[in-house]
Amino acid sequence: MTQDAFSKTPITTASDQVFVDMRREIVEGTIEQGSKISEPELAKRYGVSRATLREALNRLESCYLVERKANVGCRVVALTAERLIEVYEVRSALEGLACRLAADNMAADEVQSLKQLLNQHLHTQRVKEGESYYQEAGDLDFHYRIIKGSKNEHLIHLLSNGLYQLIRMYRVQMGMVGPRVSKAFDEHLAIINAIESHDGELAELLMKRHISASQANVQNKFDLLAAQKSAVNK
């Protein structure tokens, strides 16, 4: 029996497998953002019934990766500057709180494991050169580990089962290159040091600043794309 690499839950049905596969493909951009969903085409692609596909789509809708609109149908969510602001406002508040709680609740071995993860990121990706800082989902994701480290089940549910995949979609598809890569790594290190020192106030502040910087980085990309589109249309 296989497992969902993110949630660690068993994949027991065809609907489970379609959900996991589509979630990954939407987040990574294989299924394009904003694209219309054709149930017949996708059912054929995954080799499942329309009913099975709809079960998976309902779950994807609950984690904000697809949306249904009257007279439009079902579409993959579109990444927009307006949605970025709304999502990151919520992310900043909730992940800041997660950091504050993690400073009180993460065990010493959990903190050391997270430090080892950062060291692994530094040595397996070209972070210092500003070329790459791609984090896999779940336990290989610095942010996810802190969310879990808060030990607050309601907060974990809100972030992990709700916004997490949509946030990852922004991070993966409009992620970091250049100077922001090494800066983000240094910010991660400062956050975990604050957590290790049990300074919840500082950890929360650093996380909020980190998320604000990440939002600005993505916003700059939106601005660049808008400028390029305007130039082409002139």
User: In this prediction, what percent of the chain has a pLDDT beyond 90?
Assistant: 56
pLDDT one-digit tens code per residue, 72-116:
789 999 999 999 999 999 999 999 999 999 999 999 999 999 999
Spatial CB neighbours of 111, under 8 Å, sequence gap ≥ 6:
192, 195, 196
pTM for the structure as a whole: 0.84
User: What are the C-alpha distances in Å from 168 to residues 64, 79, 122, 152?
Assistant: 11, 11, 20, 21
What is the C-alpha end-to-end distance of the chain, expressed in Å?
56
Q: Tens place of pLDDT for every residue, the chain, 234 residues?
A: 576 666 666 788 999 999 999 999 999 899 999 999 999 999 999 999 999 999 999 999 998 999 988 877 899 999 999 999 999 999 999 999 999 999 999 999 999 999 998 888 777 655 555 455 555 566 568 898 999 999 999 999 888 877 888 888 888 887 655 567 778 888 999 999 999 999 999 999 999 999 999 898 888 888 888 888 777 776
